[in-house]
Amino acid sequence: MFIVQNYPFAVLLCVITMLCWGSWGNTQKLAAKTWRYELFYWDYVIGIVLLSLISGFTLGTFGDQGRSFTDDIVQVSSNNFWSAFLGGIIFNASNILLSASISLAGMSVAFPIGVGLALVLGVFINYLGAPKGDPVILFLGVALIVIAVILNGIASGKKSSGTEESKTKKKGIIIAICAGILMSFFYRFVASAMDLNNLENPTPGMLTPYGAFFIFSLGILGSNFIFNTFVMRKPFLGEPVSYSRYFKGSLKTHSVGILGGVIWGIGTSLSYIAAGKAGPAISYALGQGAPMIAALWGVFIWKEFKGSPKSVNQLLIGMFILFITGLALIVASGGN
């Protein structure tokens, strides 16, 4: 299987993770023109499972190092299987909430608040589980990102204050906060199922990143029959939606959702692969710099802050500067 051999390359993979995690929401925005997000989400999950299989049978199988993908799945202990599977369940619950928040508040609001909060809490959780990197520099970077998230929330409030849109966005922000709290826990369960210290000769019963990602995706798929079915019947906004509508979607519509899952899956797979050299806390934190990418898409492509007063634009500039500085500090913390 493919194994990362040095820290700089691990950081590069984490940057790709950040781009993927911050960009998949564009597919939901595209699908939203004709497609409810609850229906989009089924295709999104299918895309994740497909990518986990492709990753496992390519990068997880080729080469002489480590353990092959199929051997990895067969030998996993029950404790580690259910740890990775539980990570998928937790992620799915949080991501359905994040998708709802995107539909209510937009990418440039939902991602910085929801995923930004997940970054902050998740770094603490993952660092306590596997301390790696300079804690002072790491948490200073996290603190700057906290301030960036706060600035984004203020900007959103100023943009739509006193309007009907404000009520919808407020609901989206509350959902994003719930999503962020949940999302901060999923990575730790998956990371604890992997032997990140010895990928060349993994401990029997533990997983490689490729096997862990596949089992994680099964947790997402299995739980989706419960979580997404509930949301379809009791939506956050609009009328209930039936499964029959899903099967009436065009090939193009379904393809957009699957593409979204593949994009997110690429980022997640690379994050787990990089965690062996970067450590779970740093790998997770860099990937969760995704709110900056999503905010860029939301501001400049989807024009979610179009017509905002000058003060809002200043807050957004401050958010971007703090996010970039915080991510730079997170990268630097791993070199110490």
- Residue 160: what pLDDT? 58
Percent of the chain with pLDDT over 70: 96
Pair of tokens at residue 88: 């998928």
Rounded to an integer, the average pLDDT of 145-152 is: 81
**Phi, psi of 322, rounded to the nearest 5 degrees:** -65, -40
pLDDT in tens, 290-310: 777 877 887 787 877 777 788
Contact 4, 10 (CB under 8 A): yes
- Residue 159: what pLDDT? 65
Q: How many CA atoms does the CB half-sphere of 181 hold within 13 Å?
A: 5
* Cα angle: 109, vertex 114, 117; to 5 degrees: 120
Residue reference for tokens 């971007």? 320
**Phi, psi of 194, rounded to the nearest 5 degrees:** -105, 150
Helix H, strand E, coil C: the string for 100-120 is: HHHHHHCHHHHHHHHHHHHHH
- Residue 149: what pLDDT? 75
Confidence category of residue 319, pLDDT binned at 50, 70, 90: confident
First to last CA, the chain: 28
CA dihedral of 193, 195, 199, 204, whole degrees rounded to 10: -90
**Phi, psi of 13, rounded to the nearest 5 degrees:** -65, -35
Pair of tokens at residue 101: 């928040």
Rounded to an integer, the average pLDDT of 220-231 is: 96
**Phi, psi of 126, rounded to the nearest 5 degrees:** -70, -35
pLDDT in tens, 90-116: 999 998 998 888 888 877 778 778 877
Query: Which run of H or of E encompasses 260?
Result: helix 251-278
DSSP symbol at 18: H
Which of 51-55, 157-161, 208-212 is least confident? 157-161
- Residue 148: what pLDDT? 83
Rounded to an integer, the average pLDDT of 19-45 is: 90
SS3 202: coil
For residue 21, give every residue at least 6 positions away whose Cβ sits within 8 Å of its Cβ, in sequence order, or none. 115, 264, 267, 268, 287, 288, 290, 293
pLDDT in tens, 254-284: 999 999 999 999 999 999 999 888 888 788 7
Distances (CA, A) of 124 to 2, 23, 90: 28, 25, 17
Confidence category of residue 225, pLDDT binned at 50, 70, 90: very high
pTM for the model? 0.85
Q: Which residue, among 287, 246, 304, 276, has the nearest Cα to 26 in the 3D structure? A: 304
For residue 318, give every residue at least 6 positions away whose Cβ sits within 8 Å of its Cβ, in sequence order, or none. 148, 151
Check pLDDT > 80 for residue 163: no
DSSP symbol at 194: B
- Residue 252: what pLDDT? 92
Rounded to the nearest integer, the mean pLDDT of the chain is 88
Contact 258, 125 (CB under 8 A): no
Spatial separation of the C-alpha atoms in residues 196 and 187, rounded to whole Å: 13
